[in-house]
Amino acid sequence: MTKCADSELLEGKFPEAVKAVSEFRGETTVVIDKEWLRPVMSCLKVGEATRYDLLVDIAGVDTGSESPRFFVVYLLHSIKFNNRLRLKVPVAEGAALDTVSDIWRAADWMEREVYDMFGIAFSSHPDLRRILLPDDFVGHPLRKEFPLKGEDFDKPFRVALEEEKGNQTDG
Amino acid sequence: MAETRFMTVNMGPQHPATHGVLRLLLELDGEIIVKAVPDIGYLHRGIEKLAESMTYPQALTLTDRLDYTSGLSNNLAYCLAVEKLLDIAIPKRAQYLRVLMAELQRIAAHLLWVATHALDLGAMTLLFYAFRDREAILEILELATGARLTPSFIRVGGLAADIPETFLPRVKAFVEDFPKRVDEYETLLTKNIIWKKRTQGISPLSGADCIDYGVTGPVLRASGVYYDVRKAYPYSSYEDFDFEVPMGTNGDVYDRYLVRLMEMRQSNRIVKQAAAKLPAGPVMAVDAPQVTPPAKDAVGKDIAALIRHFKIMEQGFTTPPGEVYASIESSKGELGFYIVSDGTNKPFRMKIRPPSFINLGALPKMIEGQMVADVVAAIGSIDIVLGEIDR
């Protein structure tokens, strides 16, 4: 199968970049070092043997543990070879990742969503703003420590609003 | 020479032609769009966050609320991902019924699309015909699932129930009649000179640009790129059915319209085959007792079955630790679920790959340099559903 061949190719070309390769339910996942993200991605996109021209999705994952705190997961598809490949990049709390939005323009919105939901910054991204949540939103909701419900979730809206007003005049 | 001044126009979020709550900030030079910035998120409900607090069977109900024009397709994509995680096989009857329902749902979604898209561009008549036929599909689906828009009928392991006896005759009557209905739509639009002037050459996107922006579905195929998840990674026995993938050449609004109309005919073919070839047998994976509730009469007689019933209803089931991605060709494009499991009965992380969201990302590229009147045509041609974009 070509799936394994692609991970072997990566291991041959970027021995320092590839940290782990795993197979699960017929899907290949390659964990790569974040310093090597851009060279690996460019190689996968333009390489004659790989041609991963369609960036299917970018997903953030909060592991809830110390190291690594986050994974950013890239899902690639090759229209020519009809292959899928998943790359995972471990990211520490507060660290930034290089953007791939100049390699695939699809990454523009996908990276903005990861930033919005997890607070992972992408350096040299052309327009890194929140995308789904309002600009003045506090916090990044898909982080594990973000509460599922607000403190006033079970109060009628008017009561919650008045309490907030009251707090403001006190302060 | 007078200095050039651009005017900024705010389109939406409450605008009938933006198909929901999409807001567009348009910078105009006269009637030409210089810059377009979509603003989304007005319908954000935090579905991915909510899923982390729900068991796998509970989280299924969230998927109906993504693309609410094709609830069954969303159910299917989610169930495929969880079933891949569990590594269980689904009975053939359930697989065929899933295909049948997903394709009926695709026709219904495309009918809704063609109705509203034509309405946006001033062709109001089609709305009444398309809604009449969409209503027929929704009634058929309601017969089996009990719901029109939010069925939650496709379950992990199979289907919630077998179909009633009256279901197949009605499906067969519908598929016999439907090609004539598509002919009717075509006589209204395909050669209509006004329709052509409003759509041909409008907001074109080349195949290379589509791939670069990650665009999938009818919009990608209208630009001449062959990619359909049903063919690329056949799921739910799609390889058993004979159908073609309609393609366009110019990648403009007109070609997207043609591709969708041809897709409806192909979907009709698939439904016809599925109804004719439907095998007998169970509709739930009976050899996967961890997801399949016991039969109702067994629950009353056997204490072990009673316990299993309550365990499944209350706690759901646990999945092996790991991560999977499964996707389907929904009416909008590739709809995928990336699920990370930590071995408990709740998804550790559920990432949805919403086709509308990613297709909308290409909208600025489509409309910049075009006339402001064509924005409505461009938005309509992508076929966005905000429930899926904002999640």
Segments of chain B with pLDDT less than 70: 1-2, 17-18
Please give the single-letter amino acid code of residue B60.
L
- Residues of chain B whose beta carbon is less than 8 angstroms from a beta carbon of chain A are 40-41, 44, 46, 48-50, 53, 84-85, 87, 211-216, 225-227, 232-233, 322-325, 327, 334, 336, 338, 340, 348-349, 351, 353, 357-358, 361, 365, 390-391
Query: Domain total for chain B?
Result: 1
CA distance B41 to B25: 14
Q: Quote the CA–CA distance of B88 and B284 in Å, as a whole number.
A: 11
CA distance A12 to chain B (A): 25
Beta-carbon separation of A79 and B324 below 8 A: no
Contacts of B358 in chain A (CB under 8 A): 57, 106, 109-110
Answer whether residue B117 is part of any domain: yes
Using a CB-CB distance cutoff of 8 angstroms, which residues of chain B are in contact with residue A87? none
Nearest to B106 by CA among B139, B74, B58: B74
What confidence score (pLDDT) does residue A168 get? Answer: 64
Contacts of A82 in chain B (CB under 8 A): 232-233
CA distance B135 to B54: 33
pLDDT digits (tens, 9 = 90+) for B177-221: 999 999 988 888 888 888 888 888 888 888 899 999 999 999 999
B63 closest CA partner among B388, B389, B321:
B388
Cβ contacts of A24 on chain B, cutoff 8 Å:
322-324
Q: Which residues of B touch A56 (CB under 8 A)?
A: 214, 327, 334, 336, 353
Query: Any CB–CB contact under 8 A between A1 and chain B?
Result: no
Which of B54, B230, B245, B349 to mutate to probe the A interface, most A CBs <10 Å?
Answer: B349
In a domain, B27, yes or no: no
CB atoms B211 and A131 under 8 Å: no
Distance CA B195, CA B207 (A): 24
pLDDT tens-digit readout, B258-280: 999 999 999 999 999 999 999 98
SS (H, E, C) chain B: CCCCCCEEEEECCCCHHHCCCCEEEEEEECCEEEEEEEECCCCCCCHHHHHHCCCHHHHHHHHCCCCCCCHHHHHHHHHHHHHHHHCCCCCHHHHHHHHHHHHHHHHHHHHHHHHHHHHHCCCCHHHHHHHHHHHHHHHHHHHHHCCCCCCCCEECCEECCCCCCCHHHHHHHHHHHHHHHHHHHHHHHCCCHHHHHHHCCCCCCCHHHHHHCCCCCHHHHHCCCCCCHHHHCCCCCHHHCCCCCCCCCCCCHHHHHHHHHHHHHHHHHHHHHHHHHCCCCCCECCCCCCCCCCCHHHHHHCHHHHHHHHHHHHHCCCCCCEEEEEEEECCCCEEEEEEEECCCCCCCEEEEECHHHHHHCCHHHHHCCCEHHHHHHHHHHHCCCHHHHHC
The whole-angstrom distance between A119's CA and the closest CA on chain B is 15
Give the mean pLDDT per block of 10 residues along chain A (171 residues). 63 77 86 87 82 90 85 90 89 88 90 91 88 87 84 71 69 44
Asked, for residue B20, whether it belongs to a domain, the answer is no
Please tell me the predicted confidence (pLDDT) of residue B268: 93
The 3-state DSSP class for residue A125 equals coil
Chain A residues whose CB is inside 8 A of the B84 CB are 25
Distance from CA of B121 to the nearest CA of A (A): 28
Geometric angle at alpha carbon B390, from B386 and B391, rounded to 5°: 105
Residue pointed to by tokens 């050459």: B201
DSSP 3-state assignment of A51?
coil
Q: Does some domain include residue B6?
A: no
- Structural domain containing residue B95: 47-390
Q: Which two tokens stand for residue B4?
A: 């050039």
Residue B32 lies in a domain: no
Query: Of how many residues is chain B composed?
Result: 391
Cβ contact B385:B46 at 8 Å: no
Whole-prediction pTM value?
A: 0.89
Provide, as residue numbers in chain A, all residues whose Cβ is less than 8 Å from the Cβ of B338: 57, 59, 73, 75
Residue B322, min C-alpha distance to chain A (Å)? 7
Look at residue B37 and tell me if it is in a domain. Answer: no
**Searching chain A, which residue's CA lies closest to the CA of residue B50?**
A148
The C-alpha of B159 sits at a distance from chain A's nearest C-alpha, in angstroms, of: 23
**Residue B295, pLDDT score:** 82
Domain assignment of residue B9, yes or no: no
CATH at B116: 1.10.645.10
Q: Which of A113, A131, A133 to mutate to probe the B interface, most B CBs <10 Å?
A: A131
Q: Report the side by side order of strands in the sheet with B349-353.
A: B322-329, B334-341, B349-353
Residue A170, pLDDT score = 52
pLDDT at B191: 85
Subunit contact B211:A148, Cβ cutoff 8 A: no
pLDDT of residue B167: 92
Spell out the domains of chain A, with CATH numbers in brackets: 2-137 (3.30.460.80)
Q: Where are the alpha helices (DSSP H) in chain A?
A: 2-13, 37-46, 107-118, 157-170
Q: Please report residues of A whose CB lies closer than 8 A to that of B340.
A: 61
In a domain, B118, yes or no: yes
Best mutation site among B215, B338, B352, B388 for testing chain A: the one with the most A CBs within 10 Å? Answer: B338
Contact B338 A57 (CB under 8 A): yes
Closest CB to A79 among B225, B233, B340: B225
A134–B41 C-beta distance less than 8 A: yes
